[in-house]
Amino acid sequence: MKAPRGAHEAQPGSLSAHQPPRAAQLRPRVSDTPLQNCGILSRPRHRGPLRLPAFPTSVVFDNGRATARLSLPHSVLLECLHLDSQKPDSAILAFLSADDWRQLEALATQGSVRFQLYQRLQQPLLRSAVPTALLERLQAAAHEQTLRVLGLEATLVEILKACAAKDLPVMTLKGMHLAHAVYEGPFERDMADVDLLFRPADMARATNMFKSLGYRILHNADNLVSLAPANNEYTLVHPRLGTFVDVHWSLTRPQKEAAIDEPALWSRARALTISGAPTLTLSREDLLAYTCFHASNHHYFAAVGLRPFVDIARICARGPEPDWGTLANRVRKWGWERGTWLTLSMARKYFGAPVPEATLTGMMDGPLDRDQLHETALTLLFLGSNPEDRIENNIVRLWSSSSHWARLRLLIRRLFPPRGQLVQEFGLSAYPALASLPFLYLRRIAGLLRRHGPKLWALQRADSKYRSVLASQRRLIAWLDAPDHR
């Protein structure tokens, strides 16, 4: 496994090879406040002094021009993530103020792309214009990411070997698959957990396998599916490392998303070996389709950051070229066509993904304003990185429901989820005896009111900022969910 550049020895462009500044104005002082230490045993959480820059939100599809405009830090970050290694132009960095550098770091942190920013900024033509303190913090973040991924990989390998011993088919999803399949080194791709997929018929065996490894299962359940029947996954915590394992039995949520032909997906699976442990993975076309679906139709571009687009650009650029005709037919059959088109076209425009224009035209050949859709989705991507500005998709649905009964049903589902979901939410899977049901519901309701009450009140008062965000999200969700008639 390859460590990140600069992790063990000085490389060209590493901190030990930094050049002195060419001009004082190119080295604005940046705050030395360290970033939140993510650690190896927990999901990365970025809090503290990092504050995202304001971003315009009055984006519409229909009448007039969109008002969303990229600030200089936004533009620089997008160019640093572009597949073209000649971007950005070094002259542009001279225009970044100390506050711009802080905003650039905040955007990369919230988007889980600090490693990629660090790689690009330490190129010889750029590093002399970058504040030394920023490069040091980015290098520290790269080391933290390496430790975190090492812990996750150790967790994964232990599970894969146990599955192999029990002849239990398992598919590695998302971060770990991408890290080993499309990135130059497994530590380059940040991730918070291990994602695994089992066949529904194998979930009882998988549950017993996790018990044999020491994972604590709520109520000592025989099947994880029974703990989250309304969902498609359940989160476990490694008994020693404390790392998170998201166990899936489907790629789609049964109450919110249409099921797809998953037996066919398993039949197309590809073999991969990770640190000596065998696993199955999605085929290249299925991987590309699922990555697009997860960012668009699953999350509606909220709180996913820029990382999925970096993933997509690398899927398209590394290894054999995807069969674009097969991909288009598959996402059309699954109802993922609009989300796939929008995600691929954004990856092409902003990140340099080599997606053929003919593929995009074939997916969506009707009248549409591509730039308006791009700007709206991009606005929500950056807003989604900041919880203070973001409106949860469930609030959008609650506010947009056509009847009081529909609102009430959604409200009840959100306030009173199954007990298993509550235990997961509050990290008590390993301590089921502490999971007092009335207390957990009260705690959840209090948390929801604390997080979303001010936004609901602002929407009720017709606050222009949140109404504008709401309008953008409603239009994008409605467009993504609209059926295509072909």
Half-sphere exposure at residue 172, Cβ-oriented, CA atoms within 13 angstroms: 28
378 and 406 assigned to the same domain: no
353 and 427 assigned to the same domain: no
216 and 365 assigned to the same domain: yes
Whether 5 is in a domain gets the answer no
Strands 233-237 and 244-248: antiparallel
100 and 183 assigned to the same domain: no
377 and 294 assigned to the same domain: yes
Whether 331 is in a domain gets the answer yes
307 and 336 assigned to the same domain: yes
Domain around 399:
393-481
Q: How many Å apart are CA 361 and CA 337, to the nearest integer?
A: 12
Q: Of 361, 384, 407, which residue is a domain's last?
A: 384
The C-alpha torsion from 249 through 254 and 256 to 262, rounded to 10°, is 60
Domain of residue 380, CATH code: 3.30.460.40
**Tens digits of residue pLDDT in 389-413:** 555 666 666 666 667 776 677 677 7
Residues 417-423: what's their mean pLDDT?
A: 67
**Tens digits of residue pLDDT in 307-351:** 999 999 999 998 889 999 999 999 999 999 999 999 999 999 999
Whether 158 is in a domain gets the answer no
State residue 260's pLDDT score.
95
Whether 243 is in a domain gets the answer yes
- CA separation (Å) from 386 to 80, 106, 357, 382, 389? 21, 10, 33, 7, 6
Q: Per residue, what are the HEC states of 172-227?
A: EEHHHHHHHHCCCCHHHCCCCCEEEECCHHHHHHHHHHHHHCCCCCHHHCCCHHHH
Whether 79 is in a domain gets the answer yes
Residue 102's pLDDT band (boundaries 50, 70, 90)? very high
Q: How many domains are contained in the chain?
A: 3
Q: Of 349, 384, 419, which residue is a domain's last?
A: 384
Q: How would you list the strands of the sheet with 270-274, edge to edge?
A: 233-237, 244-248, 194-197, 171-173, 277-281, 270-274
In the chain, the N- to C-terminal Cα span, in Å, equals 47
Residues 260-281: what's their mean pLDDT?
A: 97
pTM, full prediction? 0.76
220 and 353 assigned to the same domain: yes
Q: Is 223 a residue whose pLDDT tops 50?
A: yes
228 and 114 assigned to the same domain: no
Q: Is 249 a residue whose pLDDT tops 90?
A: yes
Half-sphere exposure at residue 346, Cβ-oriented, CA atoms within 13 angstroms: 28
Residue whose entry in the numeric block shows the structure tokens 């609650």 = 398
